[in-house]
């Protein structure tokens, strides 16, 4: 096998022009010249053999490393699988849900959603901390900001209301938790309504279909709770404000009959206040005019415009 390998190397050396090739029926002088040339270029063969040996060693080490890496990955996967299997009894011990109880099911769904949203906020905090730590140790390679994954030419610019939504959701969830048995911290409706309304305002600022629907659900819930409050505990300003926002949301989704109904209630509520806030009345009236015009109720819209003027 060694002889065949040497012959292959010699053949390769001849083909590449490293060694001269003998002609047919060489004479003594040609053989001597060939032998002399081979002795001069013996170092070429030795170099080739050395390179081949080195490459063979590197290949064997690479294969060994890949084998070890695969074994390590498999071992890590087994560890994670065992850990998850160990935690499964704890994760599955959730309170039983009465499927015929819509209110209980809704609370369970909302609680689960809030847990996911709180996790997302925590994940954002961890990612931000990692980014800050990475920025503390600048790269030694050079200025590669334009090619990095975290490229941000305006780091101080606000990214939008998405993070505010998560912060408010987390704050509301924590505040509600404090009012549960075991904490017994009073959570009055006025404070709860203020937090939920601010949450809805942030969702409305997103101006997306999904967030608009979420804001509508929150405002409808607040209105339902507001009208159930005792007469002395109701807040007429908040009631009119919520009607205005609900009408605005229906106007956005082109539900004009409901938009007119709720904006009309908001306008009447704001007009009937002893200390009427003219700016609030004007904003609601102008939005109601837009809804009437879109619904082609031109006479009513014209009359309301004259009243505003």
10 or 221, higher pLDDT: 221
Residue 58 tokens read as: 């590197």
pLDDT at 256 over 70: yes
Angle at the Cα of 194 from the Cα atoms of 190 and 195, rounded to 5 degrees? 120
- Rounded CA-CA distance 68/75 in Å is 10
Confidence of residue 251 (pLDDT cuts 50, 70, 90): very high
Whether residues 294 and 256 share a domain: the answer is yes
Q: What is residue 97's predicted lDDT score, i.e. its pLDDT?
A: 40
Q: Residue written as tokens 């109720």?
A: 297
How much is the average pLDDT of 269-280?
Answer: 88
pLDDT at 308 over 70: yes
Q: Residue written as tokens 């996790």?
A: 119
HSE-CB of 158 using CA atoms within 13 angstroms: 5
Whether residues 258 and 194 share a domain: the answer is no
Measured between its terminal Cα atoms, the distance across the chain in Å is 106
Question: Is residue 23 a part of any domain in this protein?
Answer: no
Contacts of residue 214, defined as CB under 8 A and 6 or more positions apart, other chains included, come to 203
pLDDT at 221 over 80: yes
Angle at the Cα of 289 from the Cα atoms of 285 and 290, rounded to 5 degrees? 120
Question: Is residue 118 a part of any domain in this protein?
Answer: no
Under DSSP, is residue 27 helix (H, G, I), strand (E, B) or coil?
Answer: coil
Predicted TM-score (pTM) of the model is: 0.45
DSSP letter (8 states) at residue 141: S
- Rounded CA-CA distance 25/27 in Å is 6
pLDDT in tens, 133-162: 445 444 444 445 444 456 556 566 554 555
How much is the average pLDDT of 77-100?
Answer: 59
Alpha helices, H only, 138-255: 162-178, 189-206, 209-228, 236-252
- Rounded CA-CA distance 131/50 in Å is 47
Whether residues 221 and 249 share a domain: the answer is no
Whether residues 218 and 246 share a domain: the answer is no
239 or 37, higher pLDDT: 239
Q: What is residue 29's predicted lDDT score, i.e. its pLDDT?
A: 72
Whether residues 201 and 248 share a domain: the answer is no
Last residue in a domain, options 234, 253, 273: 234
Whether residues 240 and 226 share a domain: the answer is no
Whether residues 244 and 299 share a domain: the answer is yes
**What residue numbers bound the domain in which 283 lies?**
235-308
Whether residues 225 and 260 share a domain: the answer is no
Least confident of 37-46, 134-143, 220-229, 253-262: 134-143
Most confident of 95-109, 112-126, 190-204: 190-204
Most confident of 119-133, 179-193, 251-265: 251-265
pLDDT at 3 over 60: no
pLDDT at 242 over 90: yes
Last residue in a domain, options 234, 256, 275: 234
Question: Is residue 252 a part of any domain in this protein?
Answer: yes
What's the mean pLDDT when you consider all of the chain? 71
Whether residues 242 and 266 share a domain: the answer is yes
pLDDT in tens, 39-49: 656 666 677 77
Question: Is residue 248 a part of any domain in this protein?
Answer: yes
Question: Is residue 227 a part of any domain in this protein?
Answer: yes
Domain count, the chain: 2
- Run of H or E including 254: none
Q: What is residue 247's predicted lDDT score, i.e. its pLDDT?
A: 94
Full DSSP string of 25-64 = S--HHHHHHHHHHHHHTHHHHHHHHHHHHHHHHHHHHHHH
Whether residues 290 and 227 share a domain: the answer is no
pLDDT at 261 over 90: yes
Question: Is residue 207 a part of any domain in this protein?
Answer: yes
Contacts of residue 240, defined as CB under 8 A and 6 or more positions apart, other chains included, come to 265, 266, 269, 270, 273, 280, 284
Question: Is residue 83 a part of any domain in this protein?
Answer: no
Question: Is residue 210 a part of any domain in this protein?
Answer: yes
Q: What is residue 113's predicted lDDT score, i.e. its pLDDT?
A: 56
pLDDT at 241 over 70: yes
């Amino acid at each position: 096998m060694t002889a065949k390998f040497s012959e292959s190397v010699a053949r390769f050396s001849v083909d590449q022009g490293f060694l001269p090739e003998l002609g047919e029926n060489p004479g003594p002088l040609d053989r001597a010249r060939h032998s002399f040339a081979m002795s001069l270029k013996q170092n070429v063969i030795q170099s080739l053999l050395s390179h081949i040996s080195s490459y063979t060693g590197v290949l064997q080490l690479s294969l060994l490393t890949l084998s070890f890496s695969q074994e390590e990955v498999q071992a890590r996967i087994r560890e994670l699988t065992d850990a998850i299997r160990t935690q499964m009894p704890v994760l599955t011990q959730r309170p039983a849900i009465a499927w015929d109880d819509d209110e209980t099911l809704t609370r369970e769904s909302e609680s689960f959603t809030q847990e996911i949203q709180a996790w997302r906020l925590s994940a954002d905090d961890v990612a931000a901390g990692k980014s800050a730590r990475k920025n503390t140790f600048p790269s030694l390679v050079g200025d590669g900001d334009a090619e990095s994954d975290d490229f941000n030419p305006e780091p101080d610019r606000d990214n939008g209301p998405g993070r505010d939504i998560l912060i408010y959701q987390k704050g509301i969830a924590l505040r509600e938790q404090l009012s549960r048995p075991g904490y017994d911290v009073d959570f009055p409706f006025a404070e709860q309504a203020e937090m939920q309304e601010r949450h809805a305002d942030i969702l409305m600022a997103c101006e997306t279909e999904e967030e608009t629907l979420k804001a509508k659900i929150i405002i409808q819930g607040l209105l339902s709770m507001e009208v159930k409050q005792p007469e002395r505990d109701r807040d007429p300003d908040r009631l009119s404000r919520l009607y205005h926002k609900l009408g605005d949301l229906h106007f956005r989704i082109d539900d004009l009959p409901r938009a007119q109904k709720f904006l009309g209630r908001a306008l009447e509520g704001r007009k009937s206040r002893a200390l009427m806030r003219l700016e609030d009345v004007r904003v609601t009236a102008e939005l109601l005019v837009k809804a009437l015009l879109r619904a082609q109720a031109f006479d009513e819209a014209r009359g309301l415009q004259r009243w505003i003027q």
